[in-house]
């Protein structure tokens, strides 16, 4: 009869071989998005689609057609949460296509950030008041208009 320690090791090996080998946990989140194929800062093509799932290092999405493997892509994903309950957000992701099969494309992220989109005029004062910082922090820098997440 095998020891329980040996059985646990064998069980873990089987799960790794048979299961998902990705290093990062994936979260199924279906959101509307726009994509752009980019080469040397030039947009080659663009379109729209939906995300399938996310991890901390990649995104699987449905672009509406098969995209070419190896190209750089920028995704602008409509985020379902408002900044300060006022400003719509977009998650902007830059990465390289690592897999493309039929109507699903996977990218490895190289950069990502949240950006605000248009804010209705009647909400601008509320957003400005809620985002004011004390003078001590004013000189720390940072670009206006988006919140960087890495």
Note the pLDDT of residue 72.
Answer: 97
Note the pLDDT of residue 124.
Answer: 63
In the chain, % of residues over pLDDT 70: 63
The number of distinct structural domains making up the chain is: 1
| DSSP string covering the chain | ---HHHHHHHHHHHHHHHS---SS--EE---EEEEEEEETTEEEEEEEEEEEEE-SSEEEEE-SSPPPTT-EEEEEEEEEEEETTTEEEEEEEEEEEEEEETTEEEEEEEEEEEEE----GGGHHHHHHHT---HHHHTT---TTEEE--
pLDDT 10s digits, 42-58: 999 999 999 999 999 99
Residue 132 domain flag: yes
Residue 4 domain flag: no
CATH of the domain at 136: 2.40.10.220
Note the pLDDT of residue 24.
Answer: 82
Residue 3 domain flag: no
Residue 82 domain flag: yes
The range of the structural domain enclosing residue 55 comes to 22-148
- Residues in the chain, pLDDT under 70: 1-23, 119-150
Note the pLDDT of residue 52.
Answer: 97
Note the pLDDT of residue 122.
Answer: 65
Note the pLDDT of residue 6.
Answer: 57
The CB density around residue 15, as the number of other CB atoms within 10 Å, is: 10
Residue 49 domain flag: yes
Residue 34 domain flag: yes
Tokens of 48: 């729209």
Residue 27 domain flag: yes
Residue 11 domain flag: no
């Amino acid at each position: 009869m095998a020891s329980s320690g040996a059985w646990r090791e064998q069980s873990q090996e089987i799960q790794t071989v048979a299961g998902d080998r990705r290093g990062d946990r994936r979260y199924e989140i279906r959101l509307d998005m726009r994509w752009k194929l980019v080469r040397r800062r030039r947009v080659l093509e663009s379109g729209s689609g939906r995300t399938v799932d996310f991890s901390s290092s990649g995104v699987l999405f449905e672009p509406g057609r098969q995209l070419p493997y190896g190209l750089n892509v920028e995704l602008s994903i409509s985020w379902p949460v408002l900044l300060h309950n006022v400003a719509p957000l977009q998650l902007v992701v830059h990465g390289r296509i690592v897999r493309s099969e039929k109507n699903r494309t996977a990218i490895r992220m190289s950069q990502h950030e949240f950006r605000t989109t248009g804010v209705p005029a009647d909400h601008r004062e509320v957003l400005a008041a809620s985002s004011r910082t004390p003078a001590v922090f004013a000189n720390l820098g940072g670009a206006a208009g988006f919140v960087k997440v890495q």
